[in-house]
Amino acid sequence: MGGAVWADSLAMSVVETGGLVVLGVESSCDEMAAAVVRSGGSGSAGVEIVASVVEGQEEVHRPYGGVVPELASRDHLRTVSAVAEAALAQAKLSPGELDGIAVTVGPGLLGSLLVGLSFAKALAYRHGLPCVGVHHLAGHLAAAELAEPTLRPPYVGLVVSGGHTALYRIGDGEPRILGETRDDAVGEAFDKVAKLLGLPYPGGPAVAEAALEGAPDSTPLPRPMLDQEGLDFSYSGLKTAVSLAVQAREPLTPKARADLAASFQAAATDVLVEKSRRALAREGLGQLAVVGGVAANRRLRDRMAAAAAEDGFHAVFPPNALCTDNAAMIAAAGARLLARGERHGLELTAWSRVPLAERPWARS
Within this chain, do residues 123 and 21 fall inside the same structural domain, yes or no? yes
| Residue 147 belongs to a domain | no
pLDDT in tens, 114-172: 999 999 999 999 999 999 999 999 999 999 988 888 898 999 999 999 989 999 999 98
Within this chain, do residues 279 and 351 fall inside the same structural domain, yes or no? no
Within this chain, do residues 176 and 137 fall inside the same structural domain, yes or no? no
The total of structural domains in the chain comes to: 2
pLDDT in tens, 281-290: 999 999 999 9
Q: Count Cβ atoms below 10 Å from residue 183 Cβ, excluding itself.
A: 15
pLDDT in tens, 165-224: 999 999 987 889 999 999 999 999 999 999 999 999 889 999 999 999 999 999 999 999
- DSSP class of 200: P
Please give the C-alpha separations between residue 58 and each of 210, 211, 241, 296, 362, in angstroms, as whole numbers. 19, 21, 27, 17, 33
Does pLDDT of 5 surpass 70?
Answer: no
| Residue 297 belongs to a domain | no
Largest CA distance in the chain: 63
| Residue 314 belongs to a domain | no
Q: Which domain holds residue 176?
A: 155-284
- Give the percent of the chain with pLDDT over 70: 93
